[in-house]
Amino acid sequence: MVPAEPDCLISERGGAHKALAAARFIERHTATRRFEVPPVAAHLSTAIAVAEGHADADGGEGVGMTVAMNVALAAAYGTEVLFTTDRRFRMTGPLTGHEAFRLLPDDL
């Protein structure tokens, strides 16, 4: 789990207090090992390469480092399934050999 994604979604839709409550929820579950928050330093080069490769996407807006880091982490974990409503993942595609990302909840 990458805390930036739920924080962004919850902040936009429910406000700062709900986003902070979600962060505490994640914190509790990482402490009990129900969730894992991965270290990102080892994946930074891959994320930068993804961002560079998509710098002209979306009319020159690019995909950004949050999306790029999630693409890199998905590859590291061997998955194409992501919990996000960020449609920029449709521009990138997974690095795992899968045809496309499955974005939840949209692709349920």
3-state secondary structure string across the chain: CCCHHHHHHHHHHHCHHHHHHHHHHHHHHHHCCCCCCCCCHHHHHHHHHHHHHCCCHHHHCCCHHHHHHHHHHHHHCCCCEEECCCCCHHHHCCCCCCCCCEEECCCC
Quick one: pLDDT at residue 2? 55
Q: How confident is the model at residue 39 (pLDDT cuts 50, 70, 90)?
A: confident
* Residue 1: pLDDT over 60: no
- What pLDDT does residue 80 have? 95
Q: Does the global pTM surpass 0.85?
A: no
The answer on pLDDT for 102 being more than 80 is yes
Question: Is the separation of the CB atoms in 86 and 67 below 8 Å?
Answer: yes
